[in-house]
Structure 1
C-alpha cells in the first residue's frame, strides 16, 4: 500500500519592500547667463540701432528743427509725411528717377550676378573638367582683390568701348561676383547629393532639366544668401557710379543724395538737410523689407545638414 502523498507546502511570501519614490526626470538645464557676453551683445545691438533711431527721429523734423532740437528726440513739429512728399517732388521729382535707376541696377546687376553665380557654382561643384583647379585659383584671387582697385582699369576699359556715362557702365561690372560664385560653389558641393543627380540621369532626365527640377530647389537657401549680398553691394554702390556716370539723370540714390548734401557747400546752393535725411530713410527701407521677407529662406539653410538620418 502506497504512502499517502504529502501536501505541497505553500510558497513562502517574500516580505514586502517599501518602494522608493522615483525621482522626477531632470529637465533641461538652464543655461547660465554670461554677464560679459550679455553686455557685449547689448553694446553691439546699441551700435546697430542708434543710427537707425537717429535717422528716423530726424526725418520727422523740419530744416529748422534739425538745429533747434536734440538729435535723438523728436521736435514739436512732426513733419515726416511732409518731408516725404517734399523729397519726391523736389527738383521736378528727381528722387523718383534716382530710385528707379537704383532698382534697375539692382534688378539687372544683382539679379544677373546671382544667376551667373548659381550656374558657375553648380557647374564647378558637380562637373569635372580640365582646368578646374585653375578656375578655383582665379576665383579665390578675385575674392582677395578689392573692388576699388579695379575701378580705374574698369573705367579705362569702358571709356575705350564708349560705355561710360551709361547704365551699362554700372550694370556690367555688377554682374561679376567672385564671392557669390565661391559661396555657391561651396554650398552646391554639400547641398546636392551626387547620387540624386545620377538617379535623375538614369531616369532619362537631361542636364538642364535636372538642374532646374532638382538642383535649383535644393540651392534655395544659398541663392537667397548670394542674392542678399549682391543686392546690398549694388544698392550701396557709390564709388563705381561716381567715376562712371556724369549725367544726374542716371545717378543712383547714393550719388543723388550726396549731390543734395553738397548743395549747402556750393555758392548759392540751398541747404536741404531734412530732405537728405528723409531720402536716406527711404533708401534703407527696401533693404530692410528684403531681409525680412527672405529671412525664412535664409534661416532654413543654416540648419541644413545638421541632422544625420
Structure 2
C-alpha cells in the first residue's frame, strides 16, 4: 500500500499552495497572511513533510518566500510538533542558523533584547542544538553577545564540553570584560556556573590577570551574592525530597521549603530574573510553584504569604 501523507503541502501542488498563500499575503499587505489556512497545515504536518517543505522553500532560492516561511515558524513556535521538528538533526544547522538570523533581525526591529529573544521566541531550541550552533555557526561565533546569552543556557557538563573545544579563550574573555555592566550582571544572574568558569579562565590567563584583579574588585558584591546563593541552593537540594514533594498537591507540600525559595529569590535585586535563574537550576517542583513564588516576590498583596514559615528556615 502506498504511503499517504497527512496533508498535500508535501507534494508539488501543496508547495504551490504555500507559495500562493505567500503571494496573496504580499498582495494584501497583511502582517498575518492567511493564518487560518496556514496554521492547520503546520499543525498536521509530519516530520517528513516539514523537512520536505523546508528544503523546497530553501532550494527555490526566493529570499522573500524563505523569510515568510521563517515568519510562520516564529508565529507557530508554540506547536509541539514544530518544536520537535526544528530540534531534529534533519533540520540542518545551516537552516537553523538562517532561522535564528531572521529571528534576531525581525525581533530587533521591535526593540527586543538578545535575552528576551532567546527566552521568549527561541526558548524551545534544545541545549544540544544550541551547542552545535556555538561551534558551527559563524554568525553566533561572531556575535559574542548572542554567544554569551546562549552559553548562559548551558549546564555544567555542556559548559565543560564547550570550553574544551573553543580555541581562542582569551578573545572570549576580553569581550566578556567589555560588556556593559547591566549585560554582564545579566550573564552572572542567568548562569553563575558560566560566570565561575570565566573567572577561572581569567585567573589562569596571563594576559588578563591584571584586568581580572580589577574585575574581581568591581564585581565583588555580585560574586559574593551568587556564591552565597549557590551555597543556599546546594543545601536546599540536600534537604529536599523532590520525589515526595512532586507527588503531593501544592497545598500539601512543605511550605517552609517554598518559603525558603522565596527568601532566596529576595536575595537578588531583580526578582523576575531571580525566578528564571532558580528555574534554570531546577529548584521548582512544577510551573505552579514557580508562578506562586514569582507572585510572592512581585505582588504586594502576596508578599507576606509565606512569612509565618520564615522562622523554620534554619531548622
TM-score bracket, normalised by the shorter chain, equals: under 0.3
Q: TM-score, normalised by structure 2?
A: 0.21
User: For the pair shown, which has the larger CA radius of gyration, 1 or 2?
Assistant: 1
Query: Relative contact order: is structure 1 or structure 2 higher (C-alpha 8 Å, sep ≥ 6)?
Result: 1
Q: TM-score, normalised by structure 1?
A: 0.21
